[in-house]
Structure 1
């Protein structure tokens, strides 16, 4: 077994229980054991920078990097400042999604300050200040992330409507908890961002670990030397992983991390 030198962790549904909106003591302690063993722990999430920083605090991560907005935004975990931001033109994407998902609320991320929104979003889902904007203002500048929330519809409905749809110059994923479409620049995924980081750190592929539960985690799970899907993950996510652990409510991440640490010891 190889040592867990780079450990990439999704947040919602993996580190944090969406039902209770908490990070368990077990998860915090398991992450600390990885750090103490010399591993780089990287939070890789669809959340914005503002939604990610409190998670870094909860986990006690004060060095290295965090990958936010599905990899479009990289943050220095020590300084809490952005290191790199990738953006796209949201205007054609908004036009297309507005037609396909009528009645959706949209949010355009403003890195480090909040979001421009066409309608109010639940605070537990869209972190940071929300500023109402008309469509012209919403799409008037390049953004790292655009969200469409098709309230009153299911993720399966959104998936059916968007099947085979290509959004110009973008990559999109659909949440499995709500009809929530996250759009980022084309080619940007958690897996692609982690590969850049892995190369910079000089970590071997065999020494990488990733855990997640959502559609936006699939490329990350396929990238990792060892990958774990959470027990509540849908079938496509489970199929992308080397193993499936217990659910987030059952501290499945703790089991997976401790097992890998135990087996990797000489």
Structure 2
């Protein structure tokens, strides 16, 4: 979508990993932090919109200096009020039918069920850099006992390409899912839930016009968000399916590609 030169967004939705945070260094650069801070200081609604859990998102908000507004976690299934650091909206699904569908397709996979704001129940321990916050190892039966907002399926030891082939055409009852291009992960959330659906609810509540929205992301779970936004920007290292869903392709995360995107509308403040 072509935007006029005078246009400036009033709501900016930003993915975390691969957009603000470089997975290679597991850090957010000083340039990105300054650029995001200047957007916040301009009075614009900056909404961190991520597949991370609430536990994985709070440290990012702290690092960025975002102290109010809302953040969308778990691909939109969990909405966090930043000032209180509390989940104010949680959408869940029954993980039992999902496990029954996936376990024969992905033998040996590891499962993680989010317990909002406290921990993740896991069938086997994940790498701490992959799954943020405390992990509580438990039986499959225990993990499937209660509804959850997000279920992670890690087919460790297999390539993302093989995982995508195994998931081709798979329908999960009462859920929707994304398959990662970078690691052999499936992220499952309630049916109809996405970053885009959560952002649309928030946009309406905030009274922001649909044409005043900007979104930046790099992964499969960002596609609907990029299509939702008036102006969607894909990071340069994102897969072709993500880049093709965007209005613009920025530089890569390692090049701080987000910075010139934000600086176009929000120059450095004195």
State whether TM-score is above 0.5: yes
Among 139, 146, 153, the residue aligned to 1:148: 153
Give the stretch that moved more between structures: 29-38 or 167-176: 29-38
Give unpaired runs (5+ residues) of structure 1. Answer: none
Once residues 129 and 24 of structure 2 are traced to their aligned partners in structure 1, the CA distance between those partners, rounded to angstroms, is 11
| 2:64 equivalent in structure 1 | 59
1:213 has 2:213 as partner: no
Residue by residue over 1:201-242, the C-alpha shift from the partner in whole angstroms, topping out at 9 and shown as x without a partner, is: 010111100000000000000000111000100000000100
Instruction: Tell me, yes or no, if the aligned pair for 1:4 and 1:261 is still in contact at 8 Å.
Output: no
1:167 has 2:153 as partner: no
Shift of 1:2: 2.5
- Aligned-residue Cα RMSD (Å) equals 0.8
Once residues 213 and 232 of structure 2 are traced to their aligned partners in structure 1, the CA distance between those partners, rounded to angstroms, is 8
Which one has a larger percent helix, Structure 1 or Structure 2? 1
| 2:103 equivalent in structure 1 | 98
Among 181, 186, 195, the residue aligned to 2:186: 181
Among 242, 251, 257, the residue aligned to 1:246: 251
Once residues 116 and 36 of structure 1 are traced to their aligned partners in structure 2, the CA distance between those partners, rounded to angstroms, is 38
Corresponding pairs, count: 262
Scaled by the length of structure 1, the TM-score of the pair is 0.97
Once residues 206 and 160 of structure 2 are traced to their aligned partners in structure 1, the CA distance between those partners, rounded to angstroms, is 37
Give unpaired runs (5+ residues) of structure 2. Answer: 1-5
Residue by residue over 1:136-179, the C-alpha shift from the partner in whole angstroms, topping out at 9 and shown as x without a partner, is: 10100000000000011111111111111100000100111100
Among 245, 258, 261, the residue aligned to 1:256: 261
Scaled by the length of structure 2, the TM-score of the pair is 0.96
- Which stretches of structure 1, 4 residues or more, deviate above 2 A after TM superposition? none
| 1:70 equivalent in structure 2 | 75
Residue by residue over 1:2-21, the C-alpha shift from the partner in whole angstroms, topping out at 9 and shown as x without a partner, is: 22210000000001000100
